[in-house]
Amino acid sequence: MNKKVAIITGANSGMGLAATVELASKGIHVIMACRNEARGREALAKARHASQTNHIDMMTCDLGSLFSIRQFTEEFKKNFNQLDIVMNNAGVVSLKREVTSDGFESQMGINHLGHFLLTNLLLEELKQAEDARVVNVSSGAHKWGRIHFQDPYLTKKYNVMKGYGQSKLANVLFTIALADKTKNDSIQVNAVHPGAVATNLGIDRKTGFGKAVVNRLAPYFKTPEEGAATAIYLATDPEIQHVTGQYFYDKKQTVTSKKAKDRKLAETLWIWSEREVGLQSPIV
């Protein structure tokens, strides 16, 4: 296969769907990693129609299940012999404390740990690419985040802002740690703050609660296409081929919080994350 191959998580709607269409339109073969198969199939049809190409596939992957992530990566490796781009886009906002099938608080489990395992399981495939890109969708919310190692799943004092900020800080720390660990490989790892985007983020996936609020605010937000623009830039633009471990907003490197630059904290989080998802030895 000569086409570049990309995996996009959370690809059935919002920024993920917009990025799928744009990357496929650029001649990249896109794998849409979607939690819900029925919704994923609907999104696949939309993406193929919008991009006017059939070089898009859909595979189920629930970032809230370590088993599902492992199944996904095994199936991917059976069907594809290369991987050039991983866009870790999927995310949740949980107004009430929820847990994944593995017992992780949902925001930390899906937004960080799921992508941590997925990327690590695909790292050898990325290392084979001439110009591999890992794009982690974070948020300005990382600036108020803290990693609560004493209670990372917030069993005692949960609130949505605390949980979301922690998970988005984890995205940036994961970015700088992975960039350091792959500095001798042809892999660029960068994080992006997409801005305020009109997506399904914040809408309860089971009940639909929050949809009315998001719809009312949508005119004031970026469109999914506008929100995805910087992630697409990081995934494809040749001018940043050797830029890694950075944080971008509107296609420009921008500042992070002091905690997000702490490499010791990033390594501590890496080791903790590795233990939580069942990776036996550090990726170096």
Q: Please spell the DSSP secondary structure of 59-102, one letter per residue.
A: EE--TT-HHHHHHHHHHHHHH-S---EEEE------SS--B-TT
First to last CA, the chain: 28
Higher pLDDT, 125 or 209: 125
Record: fold of 5-277? Rossmann fold (3.40.50)
Q: Residue 123: CB partners within 8 Å, gap ≥ 6?
A: 182, 283
Structure tokens at 276: 């939580």
pLDDT at position 218:
42
- Backbone phi and psi for residue 36, each to the nearest 5 degrees, phi listed first: -100, 120
Position 195 scores a pLDDT of: 78
Return the higher-pLDDT residue of 201 and 238. 238
Q: Cβ contacts of residue 36 below 8 Å, gap of 6+?
A: 12, 60
Tell me the whole-structure pTM to 2 decimals: 0.91
- CA gap 35, 12 in Å, rounded: 9
Residues belonging to the active site: 164
| pLDDT tens digits, one per residue of 25-45 | 999 999 999 999 999 999 999
Structure tokens at 273: 């994350």
Q: What is the pLDDT of residues 184-231, one digit of tens each?
A: 999 999 999 997 654 454 434 454 444 444 444 444 457 888 889 999
Predicted local confidence at residue 223, as pLDDT: 87
Angle subtended at Cα 105 by Cα 102 and Cα 111, rounded to the nearest 5 degrees: 95
**pLDDT computed for residue 209 by the predictor:** 42
Taking CA 176 as the corner, what is the angle to CA 172 and CA 182, rounded to the nearest 5 degrees?
Answer: 140
pLDDT at 214: 43
Would you list the DSSP string of 250-269?
A: TTEE----SGGG-HHHHHHH
Q: Where are the domains of the chain?
A: 5-277
